[in-house]
Each structure stands twice: as C-alpha cells, then as structure tokens.
Structure 1
C-alpha cells in the first residue's frame, strides 16, 4: 500500500471523527427542539382553555379582520374572533381526533398483521390481498365516501381515518411477526408444547410494541392532515367547532380582501407538530433499529 493511499485513509478517518460529533450534536439539537415544540403546544392546548376568559366562538364585528398586534397576536378573522385562541382550540380538537384515529388504525392493522403473520398460508395470502385492495384505493376519496354516510362529527372522521390507514401498520406487524417466527426461541417454545395463542401473547406482542408505537406516532400527524382536509371540504367536523380545517376554509374568503393571517397561522399549527413528530419518529427509529444505530456510530 503506497503512502498516498495511507495518507488519504488517515484524512478520511480524521474527517469522520471531526464531523461525527458535530452531526451528533445537530441531531440532539433537532430532537430537543422538536420535543420542546410538542411540549409547548401540548401545554397550550391544555392550559389555555382552562385560563382563557374569552369564548373562542365569541363574535365581535367591531374587531373584525384586525391584523396581528398586541391585543390579538395572530389577528382576528372576518367575524372578530381571535385567531390565536381559535388555533389553540382547533389544535386541541385535531390532536384528540388524530390520537384516537391513530389508535383505531394501529389496532386494526396490528390484529390483521399478527393473524396474517402467525397463521400464514391461505390466511396470510387472503389478508394481504385485502391489504393490497385497500392500498389501491385513494385514501382521501375513500375517506370522503365513509364520512358522507354520517353526519359531520369527530367520530365520523375517526372512523374514516381508522378504516383507510390501517394497512401500513398491518404490513409492519406482519413483517416483524414473520421475522420472529424464524427465531430459535420460538422454535423452542413450539417444541415445548406452547400453544399458538401463548406464543403470540408471550413472545410476539412484547416485540411488536415498539413498532406499533412508532406506527401510531407517525399516524397522528397523518390523521391530523386527513381531518383537516375533510373539514376544509366541509365533510369533517361541524362548522361551529374551531378545527384547523374549518379555520382554513373560513380564512380563504379573507384572502381576497388581503387578510392572510386567518389562513396562515392555522396552517402553521398543522405544520409545526407534523415536523416535530417526524423528527422524533426518525430519532426513535434510529434508536430502536440496531443496524441503523451501528451505521450511525461508524
């Protein structure tokens, strides 16, 4: 090996050592920023409704379409309602709908994935064809069809999201169960006379909890966007509720008059938690995936 090759490898090693800690610090800063953002938003949706002395539905035509200022940091809409207060209330409604819808979706997908992976054979093939059939349909159009069968309500949105987004969790769970079936301790449990339900309960479910948690975490912002889209189209939550989709729908009329704040600020309340959850979910995935973690430590 010549001297130039040795020198090049030495420089590459030094460069990786030099930039490795900096990259780690950048990741930690982004994780802390994302976690701080979610904590602040969570405190806002819990504390503000308890201490606010103003009803977010209060109409004050004398204060209509006020730009952002000291009295109203995010301005007011065309009916004089405070945009900041309504955005916090809307985020609370969207988070509740997103959390419940994500739980329903992951529960359905988890059951389907466990059954398909544990039983295998004809059952596995049949369930995977059902998953492929659902994936071939546009989720938003299918969600609109489901919501249209009910009156506008939070439960209609939850059912819509739960019945259209369970396929991702089903595939993740099935893949993990198929991987677990080849482990030596599963063969030992089968040889020891353990029943299939006991193996699922004692071995599969504990190993699947991190994957289901990650799937549920990633599903929450997706469910929020789905709820926002349905409410924007007038098919989601009732118009009197301060949901983010309803606010953006109402604010589009103000854009023609030059009032941008009734639409922009609710949109930020959708974007910020989505980005924060994406950063934390990526960090969670890197921490729980041994192969990925070893690559990061190189």
Structure 2
C-alpha cells in the first residue's frame, strides 16, 4: 500500500504580503519588561513634580523606621522616606546615564564611521587607538577622570562618555565595512557620489537603528557606572538623592537591621536593568533575524 502523496506547498501570488515569521520563545517576558519600565517611567515623571523632596531635610524622630503604611519602604538613618528618595534617585541616575550613553554613542559613532569609511592605514591606526582604550579597565579609568573634578553630574557624564565609546566604535565600523560591499553603495560610488554623500544618503540610515539599540543597551551600563562612582564617593554630591549614594548610606545601617535602606535602591537598579536587557534582546532579534536563526541552531 503506497503512502498518499503530499500536496505541494502553495506558492504565494505575485505582490502578496509576505507571511509572518514564526514566533520564537514566549512573549510574556517582553510584555512584563515593558510594563515594568512603563510603571517606573510614570513614577519618575509624575512623582517628583507632585511631591517636592527637600534633599537636606532630616527628621531624626522617624529615623530607621521599618516599612509601614505611612512609609511603604521604611526610612533611612536620618528619617528620609526610602521609596520617595529611590524614585528621585532613579530619575537622577537615569538622566545622567542617558546623557552619558548619548555622549559615548556620538564619540564612538564618529570614530567608527571614520575608521570604516577611510579604510586602509587610517582604519588600522584608529582601531589600534580603540584597542588601547579597551585594554584599560573602565572603572579605574573612570575614577581617574572623576578624581580631577568635584563630584557632579558633569563629571560622571564625562567619565562614562570617555570610557565607553569603544563599543559603539566597533559596532559602527563593522556595519560600515559590511555596507561598503553592498551593491547600492558600490553603484553610488561608481556613479560619482562623494564620500560625504555616500555617508549621508546610504550609510547613516542603515547605521541609525544599530546606534539607537546600542544607546538603549548602554543606559543601564551607564547607570551602574554612575552608581559605582557615587558609592565610592566620587560621583554625585553626597546630599543628592541618587541610587549609589543611597546604597552607600544604607550600608551603615545594615548592622542595625535596617536592611531596606540598601535593598530598595539596589532593586531600583536591578529591575530596570533586567527589563532593558529583555527588551534590548527582543529588539536585536527583530533587527537582525539572521543572527537569531544562527543562535538557535
């Protein structure tokens, strides 16, 4: 008895919309990460204008209170509300991290674009400089830069921007080298287009999504960098509500049993970082489905 012949796969009609790619993996982590970031974003945007926080206010009568209805996440060793200061600290750390990530992406994008566009000896020289910066530990180099300034947001932005541009430079250079061999770029060069026109009309539109993704993924890293510097007393001023300063202040209360003073700001760092990592991975998979298929083999 012969097996029934299988029907051939239907051929799509010309001009028909392409079928959707099959989904890979569950969708709930992406939705949960988006919901968490949306909730934290609303808190950062709405709470500071509605609740004015005096950075210098001290209430020793409420010092070290555990979580309660009046203070949902307790108070620190000088009576300040931990939840309110954590929201303010996340706002400050996010703004500093965002500006620092943009600075590093601009520097790295220009360097990578120059290396990939020029090629030859200039490319090799530029990449040797990039290798030199990469060989130096980021945190130690950042401490050296911040130590030359007084604690301020500008010092942290300069520190992160100067030490983290190498990643963007490598990403942009590799994309430029890949785009230079594409037929439309070769056709533009053969047609007499100048180097600036090729960069502006053909390279920049293709590089923008990759740079934007790199910037988004750099923001949590910049926040961690700012937190480490503030924890060491070299980042933001000590009186300013930042997550690093709060963890530094909270470690002194751990022996007294005030665990919430350090745990809460630590969670405000960890949770957004994981959420951004999940969304960034999802974005990268959609941006480069070929890489996703290769990683799944």
TM-score (norm 2): 0.90
Q: In angstroms, what is the RMSD of aligned CA positions?
A: 1.7
Q: What is the alpha-carbon distance in structure 2 between the residues aligned to residue 176 and residue 297 of structure 1?
A: 22
* Paired residues for 1:146-185 under 5 Å: 146-185=145-184
Name 1:190's counterpart in structure 2.
189
Conserved in 2, the CA contact under 8 Å of 1:286 and 1:293?
Answer: yes
Name 1:217's counterpart in structure 2.
216
Q: What is the alpha-carbon distance in structure 2 between the residues aligned to residue 248 and residue 110 of structure 1?
A: 34
What displacement does 1:59 show?
Answer: 1.1
- CA gap of 1:251–1:195, structure 2 versus 1, over 3 A, is same
Structure 2 unmatched ranges of 5 or more: 1-21
Are 1:249 and 2:253 matched, yes or no? Answer: no
What displacement does 1:81 show?
Answer: 0.2
Q: What is the alpha-carbon distance in structure 2 between the residues aligned to residue 146 and residue 125 of structure 1?
A: 27
- CA gap of 1:272–1:61, structure 2 versus 1, over 3 A, is same
What displacement does 1:240 show?
Answer: 1.1
What displacement does 1:292 show?
Answer: 3.3
Conserved in 2, the CA contact under 8 Å of 1:57 and 1:81?
Answer: no
Conserved in 1, the CA contact under 8 Å of 2:55 and 2:239?
Answer: no
- The number of residue pairs the alignment matches comes to 277
Name 1:31's counterpart in structure 2.
30
Name 2:3's counterpart in structure 1.
none
What displacement does 1:53 show?
Answer: 5.1
Q: Deviations over 1:87-140 (max 9, x none)?
A: 000000000001000000000000000000000011100110001000100100
Are 1:228 and 2:227 matched, yes or no? Answer: yes
For structure 1, which segment, 57-66 or 152-161, has the greater mean C-alpha deviation from structure 2 after superposition? 57-66
Q: What is the alpha-carbon distance in structure 2 between the residues aligned to residue 171 and residue 296 of structure 1?
A: 21
What displacement does 1:297 show?
Answer: 9.6
Conserved in 1, the CA contact under 8 Å of 2:55 and 2:240?
Answer: no
What displacement does 1:295 show?
Answer: 5.8
* Paired residues for 1:61-100 under 5 Å: 61-100=60-99
- CA gap of 1:204–1:54, structure 2 versus 1, over 3 A, is closer
Q: What is the alpha-carbon distance in structure 2 between the residues aligned to residue 296 and residue 174 of structure 1?
A: 22
Q: What is the alpha-carbon distance in structure 2 between the residues aligned to residue 54 and residue 218 of structure 1?
A: 30
SS at the partner of 2:71? Answer: coil
Q: What is the alpha-carbon distance in structure 1 between the residues aligned to residue 56 and residue 41 of structure 2?
A: 21
Q: What is the alpha-carbon distance in structure 1 between the residues aligned to residue 226 and residue 56 of structure 2?
A: 20
Name 1:6's counterpart in structure 2.
none
Q: What is the alpha-carbon distance in structure 1 between the residues aligned to residue 295 and residue 256 of structure 2?
A: 51
* Paired residues for 1:8-47 under 5 Å: 24=25, 26=26, 28-47=27-46
Conserved in 2, the CA contact under 8 Å of 1:76 and 1:83?
Answer: yes
Name 2:283's counterpart in structure 1.
284
Instruction: After the TM superposition, list the runs of 4 or more consecutive aligned residues in structure 1 that deviate by more than 6 angstroms.
Output: none
Q: What is the alpha-carbon distance in structure 2 between the residues aligned to residue 223 and residue 46 of structure 1?
A: 20
SS at the partner of 1:76? Answer: coil
SS at the partner of 1:193? Answer: coil
Conserved in 1, the CA contact under 8 Å of 2:64 and 2:78?
Answer: yes
TM-score (norm 1): 0.90
Conserved in 2, the CA contact under 8 Å of 1:105 and 1:165?
Answer: yes
